[in-house]
Structure 1
Amino acid sequence: MTQLLEASLEHIEEICAIDQEVVGDFSRSEYIRTAINQKRCIIQQTEKGIAGFLIYTNDFFENSFISLVIVKPSDRRKGVATALLSFYVEMVASPKIFSSTNKSNTSMHMVFEAAGFIRSGFIENLDEGDPEIIYVKFK
């Protein structure tokens, strides 16, 4: 059985392990802990454990912003990211939801487009030579 739910501190180790598997270190552990403590982290829980997580904020120019979507490599291409995005869009009150990804992240561009997000602009100079593409979804 798969369920989407708010993460709690009992999930922190598993979430951080997934993040470490994807980025190669534990540099975002405190960021993740803060998001969980502030009730801004959603997970997809399966029989095998956590398949992915999403972290958001609601203070992006008075709009919602999805700051991180991470899917466990072994659970990719199974609709986890799309499910997390859809769940968040349904639960949030904001009429506009923003997110972003690097220009080079073609997989995430496809996820955003499949979830009904549209390109809204870009930011240069965050990652050298790889602009951040901003997406928005209107409710």
Structure 2
Amino acid sequence: MATIETGTTEQFEELVGLDQIAQKDTRRRQELWKWLESGSVRVAAEDGSPVGYTAMEPSFFGNDFLVLILVGEQHRKAGIGHLLMSDIEAAERETKLFTSTNLSNQPMQRLLASRGWVSSGIVFGLDEGDPELFYQFRQANLRQS
């Protein structure tokens, strides 16, 4: 059974090992390091080894934004994505929660739909020929200030 914890910089290499993009892209590795340093990463681990992670930023027009959810290829279809999403969704927050995915990313769209996220817009031109779909989570635990 996987557990969720806040990611640490000591897990950097293991998380890069899960992330096929980070393995090839210096910018992604730099972003991951920044997220780890800021405490923005939540890691799913089985038997002490990371199997997936999320990265959050409070950067979307003053709202929380799920920048990335990643499950290691060999751990997909085992409920890790749902576990990571549950962790993000359960956090008490003072802002709304958004995320996005490419139109071509059908697995992420299915995950979001199954968890009650609602469409909140589309942006063309970020990835040529593959529009970015934006979603909002309608959380019940939004603290009103």
TM-score by length of 2: 0.89
Match of 1:25 in 2: 24
Checking the alignment, whether the CA contact within 8 Å between 1:66 and 1:99 is kept in structure 2 is yes
Paired residue type of 2:101: T
Unmatched runs of 5 consecutive residues or more in structure 2 = 140-145
User: Does 2:119 correspond to 1:122?
Assistant: no
Deviations 1:70-99 (A, max 9, x none): 110011011111211110111241352100
Cα RMSD of the aligned pairs, angstroms, is 1.5
- One-letter amino acid matched to 1:84: L
User: How does 1:44-123 map onto structure 2 within 5 Å?
Assistant: 44-47=44-47, 49-123=49-123
Amino acid at match of 2:24: D
CA contact (8 A) 1:118 1:136 kept: yes
Identical-pair percentage: 27
Figure out how many residues of one structure are paired with residues of the other and give that number: 138
Stretches of structure 1 lacking an aligned partner (at least 5 in a row): none
Change (3 A) 1:126 1:55: same
Q: CA deviation at 1:24?
A: 5.6
Q: TM-score, normalised by structure 1?
A: 0.92
Distance of 1:120 and 1:83 partners within structure 2? 23
Letter in 2 for 1:114: S
The 4+ residue runs of structure 1 with deviation greater than 6 A are none
> What does the per-residue CA deviation read over 1:22-78, in whole Å, with 9 as the maximum and x for residues that have no partner?
566143111000000000000101016211000011131121100011110011011
